[in-house]
Amino acid sequence: MDAKKKMPVKKTGRKHFKNYAVLDGVSVTDMTKEQLEAHVYHLQQEIEKEKEERNCFQIERDRIQSLWEITKQQLEEKDTMLRLKDNEIDEAALSHLAEIKLYKQKMKHIMFECEQLVNEKIVEKMVEKLALEEAYKTQVDCLENDIKKLEGEILQLKTEHSDAISNQKLEQEKEKQALHQYYQKEIDLVKNEKVVEIKKIGLELDLQRRQAIEEIEKQKDCHMKQLIQTHENLTEKMKN
C-alpha cells in the first residue's frame, strides 16, 4: 500500500522527496519502482522476522515463567519436606537422648554388678593365695629338713669315701712295691741271661772275624803269588 501511494507522487514530480533518507547508498527519490518494491518487501520480511522473534521471546518468557512457577512450587515442597525432616531429626535426637540415658542407667547397674563380682573374686583369690602360701611354707620346711638330712648323709659318704680312698691307696702302694720287686727280679734275670748271650755272640763273632781275616790273607797271598808268577813270565818273554 505504501508503494501505491508513492507511485503517483513520483509521477507528479520529485521535488516532494528531496528530504527523504538514503537507502543502501541511494536516495529514495532516485530509486525506481522495482527498487522501492524490493525495499518494501525487505522491510516486510524484517517485520515478519521481528514478529516471529517476538513470538519466540514471548514463548520463551512463558516457558521461563512456567519453569519459575514449577521451581517455586518444588522449592516450597522441599522446604516443607525439610521442616518435616527437621522435626523428625529433633524427635530422633530426643529419642536418642532417652536411649542414652537408659543405656547409662543400664551401664551403671552392670558396672555395680561387675564391681561386686570383682570384689568377690578378689576375696576368693586372697583366700586361695593365703592357702597356697601356707602350703608353700610347709613344703619349704619339709624340703629344708630333707636338705639337712641329705647334707649329713653326704658328709658321712664323703668321710667313708675318703677313708676308702686312703685304704685303696695303701693297698695300691703295697701292690706297686710287690710288682716292682717282682719285675726287678725278672729284669735282673733277663739281664744276666742277655749278658751271657751277648758274650757268647761276641766270642762267636770274634772267631768268625779271625777266620775271615785268615781266609782273606790266604787269598791275598795266593793272588800275590799269581801276580809275581805272571810278572816273571812276562819278563822272561821280553828277554827272549
Residues forming beta bridges with residue 121, ordered by sequence position: none
For residue 127, CA distances in Å to 8, 41, 123, 131, 213 come to 138, 121, 6, 6, 117
pLDDT digits (tens, 9 = 90+) for 46-73: 888 888 888 888 888 888 888 888 888 8
Type and span of the H or E element at 26:
strand 26-27
C-alpha cell at 150: 641329705
Q: What are phi and psi of 26, to 5 degrees?
A: -125, 135
Tens of pLDDT along the chain (240 residues)? 343 444 444 444 443 434 445 555 556 566 677 777 777 788 888 888 888 888 888 888 888 888 888 888 888 888 888 888 888 888 888 888 888 888 888 888 888 888 888 888 888 888 888 888 888 888 888 988 888 888 888 888 888 888 888 888 888 888 888 888 888 888 888 888 888 888 888 888 888 888 888 888 888 888 888 888 887 888 777 776
Q: What is the mean pLDDT of the chain?
A: 80
* Domain assignments of the chain as residue spans, ordered by start: 31-111
